[in-house]
Amino acid sequence: MTTTTAAPKRRISRRKVNRELYNLSAVLILLVIALPAFWIIFTAFRPGNEVNTTPPVWIPHKLTLDAFESLLGLNPDYASGIPVFSYMRNSAAVAIIATTFALIIGTLAGYAFSRFRFRGHTTLFLGIMLSRAVPGVALGLPLFLLMRKYGLVDTVHGLALIYVAVNIPFTVWLMDGFFRQVPRELDEAAYIDGCGYWSAFWRVDLPLSLPGMAAAGIFAFLAAWNEYQIASLVTSTPKSKTFPVGLYDFTTQFTVDWRGMTAMSVLMIIPAVVFVILVQRRLTEGLTFGALKG
């Protein structure tokens, strides 16, 4: 009897040890991945004499807001002259417009692909997915020529339009998968109750797809907020430059203002983190949606 009960206890103890080792490994991996972000934050708050020292000072001896005061123009004697508020406004406008329209179009298209069969259904869907496979470096020159032809170069709405087109394929694919997890019987019950296609979508399918929309919205927002390559090609003045392109303003021919650049990077990180926190619960639901389906 003692031997019989001891074996399950040993197995439980071994499982517990393995779980703790997995958790510790995950924490260590996350710390390594987050190390560049920690370095950016420390550099933004460290004194100027610790930025380019050799060997590097890992933990600042003193924290200071001098870089942020210079960046935001709070200290007129050491103002950076970087139009950070213009970059912030442009980034917010581009990301919000791109996310909103990509979600609207992607959700409607994903619903259509998941619920209806029509001529060219598979071909059209594969065409949209293959457009996502084109690397961004190959899109730069054609997009620039297209934007210049229609007078959209160096404009916020022109850049937002590009990001809408870039984000639609991924949003369509993601929302198509989520709508396929919603039982068709719910739609049929709505039709019996007198709903049309639009009413069934609006009252039944759309509320159930909110976790998927949250996940798609996060990816679309971060893709537009952090993108540099295309933005650097089609924007050239502060009236349309976004945060990633504006970071290059801290480089000159012979020097780089690392502290100013990291301070602006911290300002760039904050809205993205806040946005993810606000929709975190929906994102978790979205990533696990359908996991318990039989």
- C-alpha dist (Å) from residue 293 to 174, 182, 216: 18, 10, 21
Q: Which of 231, 260, 255, 256 is nearest to 243 (CA)?
A: 231
pLDDT of residue 292: 41
**In angstroms, rounded to a whole number, what is the distance separating the alpha carbons of residues 153 and 35?**
37
The model's pLDDT over 183-216, given as tens digits with 9 standing for 90+, comes to 888 888 888 888 888 888 888 888 888 888 888 8
The model's pLDDT over 92-111, given as tens digits with 9 standing for 90+, comes to 999 999 999 999 999 999 99
Q: What percent of the chain has pLDDT over 90?
A: 20
**In angstroms, rounded to a whole number, what is the distance separating the alpha carbons of residues 110 and 100?**
15
The model's pLDDT over 6-58, given as tens digits with 9 standing for 90+, comes to 556 666 677 777 788 888 898 899 888 888 888 888 888 888 788 877 787 78
The radius of gyration of the chain from alpha carbons, rounded to an integer in Å, stands at 25
Contacts 24+ apart (CB under 8 A), 255-259: 257/80, 258/43, 258/51, 258/52, 259/43, 259/44, 259/46, 259/48, 259/51, 259/67
